[in-house]
Amino acid sequence: MHMLSDAELSRAIAAQAGQALLNLRSAFGELDPEDKNRANELRKSGDRTAHELIAEFLTEYRPLDALLSEEGADDDRRLSADRVWIVDPLDGTWEYGQGRADFAVHVALWVSATSTLAACTVDLPAQGMSRSMLDEVGAPAALPSNRPIRIVASRTRPPATLPVAVELLAKKLATAGISEHGVEIVDVGSVGAKVNEMLCGRAEAYVHDTGFYEWDVAAPYGVAAHYGYLASHVDGSPVTFNHLPPYVTDLTVAHPLVAPLLRECLAEAAQQ
């Protein structure tokens, strides 16, 4: 692995962490839905196992780089580092403990000199799928012609203004001749899994406005952009990384034909 590029290393590490999570969940056996303590034990073990694996690999193969991980102690020396790996060892921890498939491993590299994300990988182990900046991609798929436009949102913290924004967006899409099938909201777990719904052609946008952390966002943000989707803050400004605190206030990721109108509708809904 010493010979791997950053992008190849990112993909390899994410895949190994993902497999470790599957192995751990399998070893726990079938969980009783009522046994919350056992499920939480699995979640904590998953977080710890994946973090330790990723940290060990990066220490060995990129010893001069800094690491920002959800499960690791933050070190503000990363703020002056040239290269910072931003990782979420287990994004969608709750879903992982429920035996669901919509959890992910996020591994991304932030390059300070150019203020860019590189080497981003979203591994979806339970779905047998990995999304990476190494993937050969074309333009985003055409918008659906036989179903509503779908916006993915958090199951537990959807934007309060999203129902109003959806109504506005349905009207604007119809007026613009883009879609006459309306707009619907669907919920998915991990941020990486949400973005993957778009990459699989099952959704066209993702909106979150109640804040989360850089490790939630970095890898999915980079992968979405690589696939030609527009990722930004709700107001259209770019998201940057390696801040203190490592907090991201809001995010939209959307199909290029939907993104401008979606932002307009979110702004209008916020005024109502």
pLDDT of 63 = 96
149: left (phi over 0), alpha (psi -120 to 50) or beta: beta
- pLDDT, mean of residues 193-197: 96
Taking all residues of the chain, what is their mean pLDDT, rounded to a whole number? Answer: 95
Of the candidates 25, 79, 20, the one whose C-alpha atom is nearest the C-alpha of residue 55 is 20
- pLDDT, mean of residues 33-41: 91
pLDDT band at 236 (very low <50, low <70, confident <90, very high): very high
Kind plus residue range of the DSSP H or E element containing 248: strand 247-248
Asked if the model's pLDDT at residue 255 lies above 90, the reply is yes
Dihedrals phi, psi of 168, to nearest 5 degrees: -65, -45
pLDDT of 138 = 86
The domains of the chain, with CATH numbers, are: 6-132 (3.30.540.10), 149-271 (3.40.190.80)
- pLDDT, mean of residues 132-145: 93
Tally the residues of the chain.
Answer: 272
Asked if the model's pLDDT at residue 228 lies above 90, the reply is yes
- 22 or 1, which is more confident: 22
Nearest-angstrom CA–CA distance, 45 and 41: 6
**pTM score over 0.75:** yes
pLDDT of 34 = 85
